[in-house]
Chains A and B, each alone.
Chain A
Amino acid sequence: MAGLTLKNIQKIYPNGYHAVKDLNIDIKDGEFVSLVGPSGCGKTTTLRMIAGLESISGGELWIGDKLANNVAPKDRGIAMVFQSYALFPHMTVAANIGFGLKIKKVEKKIINEKIEWALDLLDLNGLGDRKPSQLSGGQRQRVALGRALVLDPEVLLLDEPLSNLDAKLRIKMRTELKRIHKQLKSTIIYVTHDQAEAMTLSDRIVVMKKGELMQIGSPSEVYNKPANKFVAGFIGSPPMNFIEGELIKDGENYIFKYNGNVYKLPSYLKDVIKEKIKGKEVVLGVRPEDFEISLQPIENAIEGMSIVTETLGSDDYVAVEVNKKLLSVRIEPDSNFPLDRKVYLTPKEEKFHIFNK
């Protein structure tokens, strides 16, 4: 096992495309870190650079205490699971899992022991003689994982390993991955575009956008203290509500002006504004569960119209039209919320986010 350090990592393709810009990440030994972001944010490129499948254009990659920029993939102590699994279709499950060891010229007896161990760990007992084409999607996924695990990698790299599975299986494999991580305590770097997957699995999340690092933090940090509007909108489902408007200084405190309406901002935002906000144009962000909704007029509230309700079973959401945009507000399930009525929204204490536009 080993930690991993990315120092000012860059990736510039020969055609001039700057895929990864100045990335700094410090990953501790045994940590489960997810790289998330929309397609094209450079997360897979970063993973491939760590794997050695893509050259590093600039910066330093340290695996353990070794500078690994120019080390061959096989000597980096990594193993990778590909999105398409990349199983060898002509080999049996056992041969697939044992391939890496066979290449390393490990003794046959040990290879067979390792294969048995992997089949057992991944609940694939009795499938060793099958070909990948005879397996279900979830089983193939586990074979791909087994093929990586038998190599005893110091760092395990997973590239969207669950994206080809159906929703139910994905949640099951998520738990399975967590169990394996707990059991093996290996360092895992996990690439996904699914923020829910990243939230449930990781110790820390790295949010990326267009090759740039947006925020690193624990799931609760990125959820509760998003560094910018992008992270706030990307993490969480349903996403955070945003209201665009103007910031006006009023003595010690600030007033938020949107579409002719005004809202007095709570005083605890003062420091945040001083620290982060540049200019007058700002965006307020509040998560759906952080609104208090009331039918009675409240002083200093955001006014809107209740339009429709959505039921998810465990939660209900009501869409409130404010400023010709719909905000989503969580309400008690089965509450028969009255529609087409004027409602008053007040954000809960300390659950108010403000970002530069």
Chain B
Amino acid sequence: MNTALKKEDKWNKFKEGLKKNSFLIWTLLPGFLYIIAFFVIVAFFLLKLSLTSYNGGMTQESLTIANYLKLIESEEFRTAFVRTFIFVLITTPLQLVTGLIGAILINKKFKFRGVVRSILLLPLAIPTIVTTATLLLLFSKGGHITSLLMGEYPWFPKITQHEISFLNKESLALGISILGKVWRDTPISMLILLAGLQSISEEQYEAAKTMGSTTIQNFFYITLPLLVPSISSVLVLRSIEAWKEFIFPYILAPSYPVLGVLIEKYYVQMFDPGTASAIGVILIIVILIGTTVLNWILKKMQSYLVKI
């Protein structure tokens, strides 16, 4: 009798709490549902899929780490992993540098600043498939660049006798993918860094100027440390993007797959969703580790720059 009363008491209290916080609960609900629908469920099925082995498109075994073992043994996967890592290592800092140059340029006041800003944002407005197709047209066999170098246009000197097959050489094919990627995504880095630059007050530079700080010292002691939050946003976002890059290497370097391309290969061409998912899981883990390490390095760098 007593316990029943207590139970009822608790239930009432719970109901009261719900009523009291109903506004809070209703406002939080969409976010909560969003996380469940697009994160928890997806991640769960991805994990489940990665632990299921397939053979010829048929389920063979579930709750097995066979897919992971297969990948670790696979030469193709290891090469793709290293290739992706190199892709990330080159693309991310390159986007930071190009973005920073663009941001510093636009942050200065000059005539036609609006026009220059629009031009610099243009890559975002062009569909990626158009960008890749353009690069393909330029660099493929018999493309414009080859013709140019072979002296087929009268206004350009002949540089080579033999046709260069850009897309059949690993370094060149990946290099062109990187070029496309950097060109397309620089505006995003630029906008993030521009916001960071504009939040630094002019008076700080003036104060430094009266103390004799040079432009270079200003950059390293004031601009760079104050930009660290923006820089880390850029590096984190861009490195994640680079890890899971697909479209540029898929079109421009199909013979030298990165992890993203490998997922497509396993899933679509080899009817093996299990292994494809396993690569996806590995990619997520690598990104998480990479982001953590990156944040740590940036924190160290900032405290080093502002020491007395």
A233 to B212, CA, bound (A): 41
Does chain A have a CB within 8 A of B209?
Answer: yes
Q: Nearest-CB distance from B185 to chain A (Å)? A: 27
Which residues of A sit under 8 angstroms from B201, Cβ to Cβ?
84, 86
Contact check, A94 vs B308: say whether CB atoms are below 8 A apart. yes
- For residue A53, CB closer than 8 A to chain B, the reply is yes
Interface residues of B in 198-232 (CB under 8 A from A): 201, 203-204, 206-213, 217, 221-222, 225-226, 228
Q: Does chain B have a CB within 8 A of A104?
A: yes
Residue B285 is within 8 A (CB to CB) of chain A in the complex: no
A79 at the interface (CB under 8 A from B): yes
Q: A100-B211, A104-B212, A151-B211 are in contact. Are A82 and B225 (CB under 8 A)?
A: no
Other A-B contacts than A103-B213, A104-B212, 20 sampled, CB-CB below 8 A, are A73-B210, A74-B212, A80-B210, A82-B206, A86-B201, A86-B203, A86-B207, A88-B204, A88-B222, A88-B306, A90-B225, A90-B226, A90-B306, A92-B306, A95-B306, A99-B208, A99-B221, A112-B308, A147-B211, A151-B211
Interface size on B, residues (CB 8 A): 21
Q: How many contacts A-B (CB < 8 Å)? A: 74
Cβ-neighbour of B210 out of A78, A91, A108, A112 (below 8 A)? A78
Q: Is the CB of B308 within 8 A of A82?
A: no
In the complex, what distance in Å separates the CA atom of A103 from the CA atom of B228? Answer: 21
A51 in contact with B226 (CB, 8 Å) = no
Please report the C-alpha to C-alpha distance between residue A78 and residue B207 in the assembled complex, in whole angstroms: 11
Q: Give which listed residue, A84, A86, A95, contacts B308 with CB less than 8 A.
A: A95
Question: Do most interface residues of chain B lie in helix, strand or loop, or is the interface mixed?
Answer: helix
CB distance from B98 to the nearest CB of A (A): 25
**A95 CA to B306 CA, complexed, in Å:** 7
Say yes or no: B226 contacts A74, CB within 8 Å.
Answer: no
| Docked complex: A94-143 residues within 8 A CB-CB of B | 94-95, 98-100, 102-104, 108, 111-112, 115
The yes or no answer to A52 lying at the interface (CB within 8 A) is yes
Verify if B307 is at the interface (C-beta below 8 Å from A): yes
Q: Which B residues, 260 to 308, have Cβ-Cβ distances below 8 Å to chain A? A: 302, 306-308
Pick from B203, B206, B212, B307: contact of A95, CB below 8 A.
B307
CA distance A53 to B228 in the complex (A): 27
Whether the Cβ atoms of A89 and B226 lie closer than 8 Å is yes
Do A90 and B302 form a contact, CB below 8 Å, given A53-B206, A84-B201, A111-B308?
yes
- Sorted nearest first, the 6 A-B pairs with minimum C-beta distance are A74-B212, A100-B211, A86-B203, A86-B207, A90-B225, A73-B210
Specify the chain B residue showing the minimal Cβ separation from A76: B210
Kindly supply a per-residue 1/0 record for chain B positions 180-197, scoring 1 wherever the CB is within 8 Å of any chain A CB and 0 otherwise: 000000000000000000
What are 21 A-B residue pairs whose CB atoms fall within 8 Å in the complex? Answer: A53-B209, A74-B209, A79-B211, A86-B204, A88-B204, A88-B221, A88-B222, A88-B226, A88-B306, A90-B225, A91-B225, A98-B308, A99-B208, A99-B221, A102-B308, A108-B308, A111-B308, A112-B308, A115-B308, A147-B207, A151-B211
Instruction: Give the shortest distance, in Å, between B199 (CB) and chain A (any CB).
Output: 10
Whole-angstrom distance between the Cβ of A143 and the nearest chain B Cβ: 12
Residue on B with the closest CB to A81? B207
**Residue count of chain A within 8 Å CB distance of chain B:** 33
Enumerate chain B residues within 8 angstroms of A112, measured Cβ to Cβ. 308
A73 near B209 (CB under 8 angstroms)? Answer: yes
Chain A's nearest CB lies how many Å from the CB of B278? 43
Task: For B212, give its contact among A73, A89, A92 (CB under 8 Å).
Answer: A73
Report how far A72 CA is from B212 CA in the complex, Å. Answer: 8
> Which A residues lie within 8 Å of B208 (CB)?
99, 103
- A84 contacts across to B, CB distance below 8 A: 201, 203
Q: Which residues from chain A contact B206 at a C-beta distance below 8 Å?
A: 53, 80, 82, 86
CB distance from B223 to the nearest CB of A (A): 11
A87–B200 CA distance with the chains assembled, in angstroms: 11
Query: In this complex, which of B203, B217, B225, B308 has the most chain A Cβ atoms within 10 angstroms of its Cβ?
Result: B308
**Chain A residues, CB < 8 A from B203:** 82, 84, 86
Contacts of B210 in A (CB 8 A): 51-53, 73-74, 78-80
* Chain A: CB-nearest residue to B212: A74
Interface centre among A87, A89, A98, by most chain B C-beta atoms within 10 angstroms, is A89
Min C-beta distance of A76 to chain B, whole Å: 8
A102 to B212, CA, bound (A): 10
- Interface residue ranges of A9-49 to B (CB < 8 Å): none
Of A51, A90, A115, most buried by chain B (CB within 10 Å of CB) is: A90
